[in-house]
């Protein structure tokens, strides 16, 4: 080793001693940064799993909190719909509030005719068409003279097609009830009953009581 090399050796050693702590600190900082990044990635991966465990346990998700809705707000989300009872024999009953003006007039015409039959059979002012007045009035009058009695009735929904309308009715007497079909026509802006299809004589026959219907229940069978 030459004299110049021996003279520069202490300087080299001193420089290495001064640089060593800096390199150690940089390596430590880099290692700490890598560890922090790995921890962040682990936490991010663990969050969905923890959320799934909370949902499986029934706990509400923090970003899906239930919204309190008042009764009026809840009802505002329901579509408006009138719920009316139905008759087992004739189906949906007439709804005068939801019916159109023409359907209401047709409904009232059918009601006037049946009310005249219930009151004794004087069909002089009943809304019958000119074509139907003869045979419909004669048919109803024939059965009334033979003792048929109409004690009550209920009308079904009006089904209108242009200038004609159709509805079902349930006619009740002391011994039972029968279905009837009424056909109406529109003439000069007025509705008239054009035909009535009913087995009037069945109102004089004693009808058997309806059979009980068995329905399954959680703790046995119940009968209706």
- Average confidence (pLDDT) per 10 residues, the chain, 224 residues: 54 58 49 56 52 54 55 55 78 84 92 93 88 89 92 94 95 92 94 95 80 64 52
The predicted model scores a pTM of 0.58
pLDDT of amino acid 186:
94
Domain layout of the chain by residue ranges: 10-48, 86-204
**pLDDT at residue 29, as a whole number:** 47
What's the number of CA atoms in the CB half-sphere (13 Å) around residue 162? 1
SS3 (DSSP) at 70: coil
Q: What is the CATH number of domain 86-204?
A: 3.10.450.630
Beta bridge partner(s), residue 167: 182
Length reported for the chain: 224
d(CA 142, CA 152): 19
CB 164 within 8 A of CB 183: yes
């Amino acid at each position: 080793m030459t004299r110049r090399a021996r003279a520069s050796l202490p300087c080299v050693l001193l420089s290495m001693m001064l640089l060593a702590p800096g390199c150690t600190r940089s390596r430590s900082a880099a290692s700490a940064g890598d560890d922090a990044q790995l921890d962040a990635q682990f936490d991010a991966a663990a969050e969905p799993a923890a959320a799934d465990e909370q949902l499986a346990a029934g706990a509400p998700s923090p970003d899906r909190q239930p919204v309190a809705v008042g009764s009026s707000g809840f009802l505002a989300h329901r579509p408006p719909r009138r719920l009316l009872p139905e008759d087992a024999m004739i189906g949906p009953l007439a709804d005068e509030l939801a019916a159109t003006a023409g359907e209401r007039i047709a409904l009232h015409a059918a009601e006037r005719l049946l009310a005249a039959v219930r009151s004794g059979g004087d069909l002089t002012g009943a809304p019958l068409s000119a074509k139907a007045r003869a045979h419909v009035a004669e048919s109803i009058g024939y059965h009334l003279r033979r003792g048929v009695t109409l004690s009550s009735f209920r009308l079904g929904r009006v089904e209108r097609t242009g200038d004609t309308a159709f509805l079902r009715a349930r006619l009740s007497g002391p011994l039972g009830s029968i279905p009837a079909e009424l056909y109406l026509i529109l003439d000069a802006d007025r509705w008239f009953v054009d035909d009535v299809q009913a087995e009037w004589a069945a109102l004089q026959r004693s009808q058997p009581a309806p059979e009980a219907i068995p329905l399954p229940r959680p703790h046995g069978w119940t009968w209706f």
